[in-house]
Amino acid sequence: MKPTPKKAGTMHLDNVAPDSLQGIPRQRVNPPMWRRTSDEDAKDTWPAFVSDLKDLGININEGRAKRAIFVTDAGGLSYGMPDGVFSPSSATDIAEILKAAQRHVVPVTVRGGGLGTEGEAVAFGGLLLNMSSMQRVVDIDAKNLTARVEGGIFWHELAEVLRRKGLDYISAPLNFTSTVGGVLGVGGVDTNSPKYGLSADQAIALKVVTPTGEIVECSPTENSELFNRVILGYGQFGVIAEATLKIRKFTPMRMNYFYYSDLRTAIEDLRVIVEGEASDYSGILTIMDRAITLLVGFDSKEREDEFTKKTEPKLRGHGEIGFGLRMAIYYAFRPWKIGESLYLLKRRLLLFPDLMRREFTGKDGEIVDRTVIFSRAVWKHWGSKKMTIPDLAAPEDKFIEAVERGNAVCKKYFKYYTLYCVGIKKKQDAGDNHYEMSCVPKDAVNFAYGCEFEPSYGGGKYSRDKLQSFKNEIYDIGVDMDLSCYRFGGMMKGYIRRLFGDEVVERHLKMKQEADPAMILNKNTVF
Amino acid sequence: MSEKKKYKVDVLVVGTGPASAAASKRLVDAGLKTIAIDFRKLPRHKVCSGILSPRGHRFLIENFGPLPLKALHNPTSCKGVTFHFPSASSMPIDFLGGSTPHLHRKFSDHWAIEQSHVEVHDETAFLSLTTDGKKAVVSARCRGEAIEYEARFVIGADGPNSPVRASVYPEYSSEIPWFVVAQKFQPIIECPLDLDYFHFWINPKLGHYTWSHEREGRLIVGVGFKKGGNVDEHHKRFEDYMRDKHGVRLGPPERKEGGSHNFGPSIINRYVFGKENILITGQAAGFFNMLAEGMSCALHSGAIAGEAVIESLATRHPVQEVYREHIASEVNRSTDQYNPIKTVFDNVHEADFKSALKKLSRGDQLRAVRDLMKFISVYGDLNWGRQILGQSIRRLILGTYSTKRWL
Ligand SMILES: Cc1cc2nc3c(=O)[nH]c(=O)nc-3n(C[C@H](O)[C@H](O)[C@H](O)COP(=O)(O)OP(=O)(O)OC[C@H]3O[C@@H](n4cnc5c(N)ncnc54)[C@H](O)[C@@H]3O)c2cc1C
Ligand SMILES: Cc1cc2nc3c(=O)[nH]c(=O)nc-3n(C[C@H](O)[C@H](O)[C@H](O)COP(=O)(O)OP(=O)(O)OC[C@H]3O[C@@H](n4cnc5c(N)ncnc54)[C@H](O)[C@@H]3O)c2cc1C
């Protein structure tokens, strides 16, 4: 033994001095953030708010059944009831509501599809503005390849309208019910993000209702400051009533799959493809860190051929049969892992046919609608009422380590899980502050990479305590490695200062206070 | 005679320790009318080493915010645990993720319950309860005055002797083994032990549970043994041992304190979670991690009890069903720590036991493992061996511990 003599009573190393923990107020989990009559002298301003609006012909629905529809989101961990719900039909409606809300200091929570997972669109009291009543496609300009839509439209609905004309949106989340307005403020990542960037980067003009109720048309050239604030503005700087988006000609997606049993190799190969711009779509989807699938897709036969010639020889993945054989050998020597091998086999047999169903593919097996395929698969094979999908977004050089560390956390918490990795191209002509306080980490050079960590519950029921601990541990990696995350509002709010730093957050808070003096729009989700 | 004082609440939480603070925090956050009662006047003293596992530390920060200095003892932190083996070596084991705070339980518990914003009734003792499954009526007494609480749910977070548990399962206390733990505070004349660590002796001759660490310039000399033994004898033996073996010289004890505890349910997966709308949690339910670290599992199990109530109200599933489904992960955590298969093949402890062991010489490694096996034999007469093995094998094959062994 090597005793270190110590004088009795001396202070030893102390990593918990109170000031060392400042700026980590993570205690907020699910509080009622706005109580109409929380303390004695606070006036209940709600009735006057409702009656003011009624005089303008705007009738707030206060029925419990209506309010209860919006009690939680896709995450299912955050619960809160609004005092009333309104489904606007125009920017003018929204403007009147926000003006009254400023006057009476009533919080307004904007809700798109409610596909957030951290309660960003859950109202803890106040008014819930249900944007899914504004779902029209206003105009399609096939010549200049743009579409004007209302903010509450689901991306997938837009796709259906566009595809009838041989057109398509550029990139959008792979699910059915996220809305244009709910995504432009947050990001939007698709398998073609390595080529086109975030969905938010496809917007070229917006009609915004500011938190004080002005209706403003903005774009990079007109009212550009507001435009830049609202895009990737995490829902804080205005309600998106309409948006003009870049669109493109429709092409089905020609898919190639490569299989790996090593995470690091697969990610290195993904980087080769993404940074070499060798494909039109790419991503990694895994079953734990055992069976790793690298998906590579193309818009045309020519692109595919070019890839086959130039890039494919550099990749170290296997074909399905080769990989299956390797797996069989691996498990033959590890009989105690029989459970895991059966799970992999079951996944293979159930999931893969769903990714290649005849009714959703063309005659050469090309994917006609990737959203249908992936969204169905996600909900069917991963989904539950508590979608837990924390993520890390890293610059090029930190990505592998981030995924490996996140993978270790998944292992600690869950038997079965999936990792979903994708690259994101940064917009080149974007200003310095464009990605500030967004899911794109500050030191990404040309590409950022995101990895989602998705437990598969497999019938198991987990407490919120466990799921929240899991998310926190993933985000801790983000803090430790100086990364960013896709979902930092709501329940993960405590991480904002730690991820982005006080200086940046204070600056954004100041802008918010200027734009929204009563701090009513999406109160408490970020600031 | 005046009317009995009555309160009507959604949830009554009995106790104001860590399990209660965590449960209360969840319930208050969810907007449920909640009262927490404690028979002591707050802030109350608590016999405890105050060493927190990293997971407990993060729970406190995440839920209650940065710890105030007042909630810490001196030294303010602890680097890990040092094991002392009778046949030579000593092995310092660092906590994974760095030092953790040395809590002053009187103030840390009070701070946590205050941060939960629950309404607290102190000096209010739980006496008894009746329930029809939907509504529980609790009788309590505050400074001689009778009080009645009507609650939709009662959470017993009332520690080792849990009167709530006793009112649901009157026989329980007489059916489990009890252990006495007692600590004396002695001035340090000379102490070559590294005081950055909590020290634990793997030595059957000294008793079931033998520990020491520094607090406010004193050395705490602690002993634990099966109920029935004599504190001073155990204590004298341990003090002599520390002097002869480690050269620790101490002044006469200035203070002594102790109590009896229910170590065991976690080891053999015999937890008590309550009945109908009465939930039992924290140490009352039997949660204890290795080395009597009970705060982190009290916090997490308390939170889960609170969440179970919320979820039960939201989904209309019976609360016991929800609680038992959700608590399984915490049961795995705690019971895994005593599971020999998990200990060898997995990383179930929050301190890096394996790499600490690797640092010893080959011979010392063997001796350490042999000493550990011998140490387990002090628990031999409790008939836990077969139960541990049975549960461990079940965990290996089915991935879970049996829920049928829970009360
Ligand atoms: C199963 C599943 C799969 C997913 N897959 C992907 C994926 O592949 N790629 C990806 O990028 N994301 C994915 N997501 C995440 C999801 O797409 C994003 O969280 C998205 O922001 C949700 O959009 P929403 O319309 O549902 O927004 P909501 O959750 O309703 O709102 C999100 C935020 O935007 C604000 N907001 C909503 N509408 C407006 C508006 N009109 N104006 C201003 N602010 C508004 C809200 O107040 C809130 O703060 C997935 C989520 C789930 C549950
Ligand atoms: C000597 C010793 C050292 C320990 N060292 C550590 C350590 O270093 N680290 C660690 O993590 N754990 C340690 N523990 C264990 C830890 O103290 C417990 O596991 C933990 O306090 C359990 O928390 P709890 O909230 O379940 O119960 P408690 O903290 O015991 O809280 C129960 C509360 O219920 C109240 N109560 C009891 N009866 C009634 C009644 N009739 N009416 C109203 N209220 C009532 C009590 O006053 C008390 O406030 C130690 C224990 C002992 C004995």
Q: What is the percentage of chain A residues whose pLDDT exceeds 70?
A: 91
Give how many domains chain A has, as a whole number: 2
Q: Which stretch of DSSP H or E encloses residue B368?
A: helix B362-376
| The pair of three-digit structure tokens given for residue A395, joined into one six-digit string | 């610059």
How far, in Å, from the CA of A32 to the mean position of ligand 2?
A: 30
Residue A480 CB burial class (10 angstroms; 0-12, 13-18, ≥19)? exposed
A85 C-alpha to ligand 1 centroid (Å) = 19
Same domain, A243 and A304: no
Residue A461 lies in a domain: yes
- Ligand 1 contact via A200 beta carbon (within 6 Å): no
What A307-315 contacts at long range (C-beta under 8 Å, 24+ apart), as own/partner pairs, is: A307/A256, A307/A278, A307/A279, A310/A278, A311/A272, A311/A273, A311/A276, A311/A278, A311/A279, A314/A269, A314/A272, A315/A258, A315/A269, A315/A272, A315/A273
Task: List the 290-319 stretch of B: residues with Cβ below 8 A of A.
Answer: 300, 303-304, 307-308, 310-311, 314
Same-domain check for residues A411 and A303: yes
Sign of the alpha-carbon torsion through B323, B328, B331, B333: negative
At A502, the amino acid letter reads: D
In this prediction, residue A14 carries a pLDDT of 38
Handedness of CA A461, B22, B388, B405 (dihedral sign): negative
The residues near B186 (Cβ < 8 Å, ≥ 6 apart) are: B218, B219, B221, B239, B250, B251, B252, B253, B254
Structural domain includes residue A63: no
Cα–Cα distance measured from residue B288 to residue B14, given in angstroms and rounded to the nearest whole number: 19
User: Which pLDDT belongs to residue B392?
Assistant: 83
Tokens (6 digits) for A55: 């005089």
* Model confidence pLDDT, tens digit, residues A355-371: 777 878 887 778 888 88
- The distance of A464 to chain B (nearest Cα, Å) reads 7
pLDDT at position B262 is 87
Phi-psi region of A293 (alpha: psi -120 to 50; beta: other; left: phi over 0): beta
Quote the CA–CA distance of B298 and B21 in Å, as a whole number. 9
Task: Identify the CA nearest to B353 among candidates B81, B101, B89, B53.
Answer: B81
Both A369 and A276 in one domain: the answer is yes
Interface touch B194/A463, C-beta < 8 Å: no
Please identify, among A251, A279, A295, the residue that sits at the C-terminal boundary of a domain: A251
Q: How far apart are CA A100 and CA A86, in angstroms?
A: 13
What region, left, alpha or beta, does residue A132 occupy, with left being phi > 0 and alpha being psi -120 to 50 degrees?
A: alpha
Q: What is the pLDDT of residue A373?
A: 81
Q: H helices of A135-215, where?
A: 155-163, 180-184, 193-196
CA distance B167 to A361: 64
Q: Can you tell me whether residue A26 is helix, strand or coil?
A: coil
* A49 belongs to a structural domain: no
Q: Which of B115, B314, B326 sits opposite A79 (nearest CB)?
A: B314
Mutate to test the interface with B, among A21, A465, A479 (most CBs of B within 10 A): A465
One domain, residues A176 and A276? no
pLDDT at A7: 39
- The C-alpha of B161 sits at a distance from chain A's nearest C-alpha, in angstroms, of 26
| CATH number of the structural domain spanning residue A382 | 3.40.462
How far is it, in rounded angstroms, from Cα B299 to Cα B333? 13
Task: Please identify which residue in the block is written with the tokens 């002097």.
Answer: B243
**DSSP state at residue B169:** -
**B10 CA to chain A: closest CA distance, Å?**
16
Tell whether A466 lies on the interface with B, counting CB pairs under 8 A: yes
My answer on whether A338 and A460 are in the same domain is yes
Higher pLDDT, B22 or A32: B22
Residues of A in contact with B58 (CB under 8 A): 469, 472
Whether the upstream peptide bond of residue A18 has omega within 30° of 0, thus cis, is no
The predicted-structure confidence for B269-321, as pLDDT tens digits, reads as follows: 889 999 999 999 999 999 998 877 899 999 999 999 999 998 898 888 999 99
Contacts of A312 (CB under 8 A, 6+ apart): none
Question: Tokens representing B229?
Answer: 């033994």
Cβ pair A463:B79 closer than 8 A: no
The Cα B279–Cα B285 span in angstroms is: 9
Q: Are strands A127-130 and A84-86 parallel, antiparallel or unpaired?
A: parallel
Beta bridge partners of B200: B83, B211
Task: Write the residue in B25, B188, B329 that is nearest to A466 by C-beta.
Answer: B329
- Residue A450 and residue A302 share a domain: yes
Place of tokens 């102490």: B191
Under 8 Å between Cβ of B159 and B298: no
State the residue range of the domain holding A282: 254-496
Helix spans in A205-278 (H): 224-230, 263-275
Q: How far is the CA of A180 from the centre of ligand 1 (A)?
A: 8
Would you call B326 and A461 a contact, using CB atoms and an 8 Å cutoff?
yes
> Which residues touch B209 (CB under 8 Å, ≥6 apart)?
B179, B181, B222, B223, B224, B225, B263, B292
Count of CB atoms within 10 A of residue B130's CB?
10
In a domain? residue A447: yes
Summarize the confidence of residues A158-162 as an average pLDDT.
93
> Could you tell me if residue A348 is inside a domain?
yes
Sheet containing strand A447-455, strands side by side:
A254-260, A291-298, A281-287, A417-425, A447-455, A391-395
**What residue's CA is closest to ligand 2, atom 15?**
B294
Write down how long chain B is. Answer: 407
Burial class (CB in 10 A: 0-12, 13-18, 19+), A103: middle
Binning chain A into helix, strand and coil, the percentages to the nearest 5 are 40, 20, 45
Claim to verify: residue A174 and residue A290 sit in the same structural domain: no
Q: In the prediction, which pLDDT does A37 show?
A: 53
- Of A196, A224, A251, the residue that ends a domain is A251
- Helix H, strand E, coil C: the string for B68-130 is CHHHEEEEEEECEEEEECCCCCEEEEEECCCCEEEECHHHHHHHHHHHCCCEEECCEEEEEEE
For strands B136-142 and A447-455, give the pairing: unpaired
Considering chain A, what is the average pLDDT of its residues? Answer: 87
Check residue A12 and give its pLDDT: 36
Lowest-confidence segment of A50-59, A345-354, B371-380 by average pLDDT: B371-380
Q: Are residues A139 and A246 in the same domain?
A: yes
| Chain centre to alpha carbon of residue A136 | 23
Q: What is the pLDDT of residue B348?
A: 81
Atom of ligand 2 nearest to the CA of B282: 26
For residue A450, pLDDT over 90 is answered with yes
Model confidence, pTM: 0.87
On the CB side of B14, CA atoms within 13 Å amount to: 35
Question: In this structure, are residues A511 and A237 in contact, taking their beta carbons and an 8 Å threshold?
Answer: yes
- ipTM of the prediction: 0.80
Report the DSSP beta bridge partners of residue A460: none
All residues of chain B having their beta carbon less than 8 Å from the beta carbon of residue A461 are: 325-326
Taking the Cβ of residue B103 and every Cβ of chain A, the question of whether any pair is shorter than 8 Å is answered with: no
Q: What percent of chain B has pLDDT over 70?
A: 99
* Residue A73 to residues A112, A119, B184, Cα–Cα distance (Å): 10, 6, 53
Q: Quick check: B18 and B300 in contact, CB under 8 A?
A: no
Which of A:414-443 have CB within 8 Å of B?
415
Q: Identify whether residues A329 and A362 lie together within a single domain.
A: yes
- The confidence score (pLDDT) of residue A71 equals 86
Query: Looking at the structure, do residues A298 and A227 belong to the same domain, yes or no?
Result: no
Residue A124 lies in a domain: no
Locate B350 and state its tokens: 């929050």
How would residue A310 be classed by pLDDT, with cut points 50, 70 and 90? Answer: very high
Positions of chain B with pLDDT lower than 50, given as ranges: 1
Q: Is ligand 1 within 6 A of the CB of residue A233? A: no
Identify from B221, B254, B329 which residue to disrupt to test chain A contact, counting A C-beta atoms within 10 A and taking the largest count.
Answer: B329
Annotate A103-146 with three-state secondary structure: HHCCCEEEECCCCCCCCCCCCCCCEEEEHHHCCCEEEEECCCCE
- Where does ligand 2 bind, in terms of residues with CB under 6 Å? B 14-20, 37-40, 44, 46-52, 125-126, 157-159, 163, 181, 183, 259, 261, 282-284, 292-295, 298
* Structure-block tokens of residue B317: 């599933």
CA angle B386, B171, B150 (to 5 degrees): 125
Domain stop point among A251, A271, A297: A251
User: Is residue A115 in some structural domain?
Assistant: no
Here the CATH number for the domain that contains residue A225 is: 3.30.465.10
d(CA B232, CA B237): 8
CB contact under 8 A, B61 and A30: no
Kindly report the nearest CA distance between residue B232 and chain A, in angstroms.
Answer: 25
Question: Do A167 and A314 belong to one domain?
Answer: no
Which residues in chain A (323-362) have CB-CB distances under 8 A to chain B? 339
State the count of interchain CB pairs (< 8 A) between A and B: 131
- Residue by residue, DSSP assigns A451-490 as EEEEE--TT----HHHHHHHHHHHHHHHHHHT-B-S--SG
Cβ <8 Å between B329 and A29: no
pLDDT for A259 beyond 70:
yes
Residues in B closer than 8 angstroms to A469, CB to CB, are 55, 58-59, 300
Same domain, A242 and A287: no
- Between B335 and A205, the more confident residue is A205
